[in-house]
Amino acid sequence: MATQIKRIGFGQVEPNHLSGIVTGQIYAQLPVKAGETQLEQGQFAKYDYAAGEVNFDGEGEFMLVYNEEKLYDERKQSHKDFVYKVDDFTDKKMFPRLIKTNIGDIFTTNTFGKNTSADAEAPGISLSVKDKLYVGADGYLTTTQADAATPVFKVVKEYTMPDGQPGVKIQRI
């Protein structure tokens, strides 16, 4: 049975088993490439050390965007309200936290396509257990493999996010 992943708000991640957190494969010292305006949890980007920036088109491996959430009023905000936006930083530079995903890593997400606000509905996608996912040129997971060098994931369980929205548990294969 397929699950229609439609979400209100920004992407979410539950780090069920991300070995990069334990092994220290966390990268967070480079700014995002000029011109990029936001990064969502569950999106992927490249830590392009030679270029001195986080980008989508440089050399290197795609890594999971998983920033520490800053929610200032838990009565009015939830995971869907958090996103890294360049306008929220005084120096207009974002320094995201990227986590390397290794073979076997598992996480739950609903991040499939860009969203513009915490109240907007993001583009939907229909997924079933055993579907394969790939990182697209914009860093979002997709069912179409455009580049053989991107990591490959498999849907292992249809699930829900902490706020009750539909999501999927995926594993890097």
- Residue 86 corresponds to which amino acid? V
Tell me 123's DSSP state. P
Pick the more confident residue, 6 or 139: 139
The encoded tokens of residue 38 equal 């936001």
Domain count, the chain: 1
**Residue span of the structural domain in which 161 resides:** 3-172
- Distance from C-alpha of 94 to C-alpha of 115, rounded to nearest angstrom: 18
- Answer whether 42's CB lies under 8 Å from 64's CB: yes
pTM across the whole model? 0.92
Residue 68 banded pLDDT, cuts 50, 70, 90: confident
- Dist CA 95 CA 36 (whole Å): 12
Quick one: average pLDDT of 69-96? 77
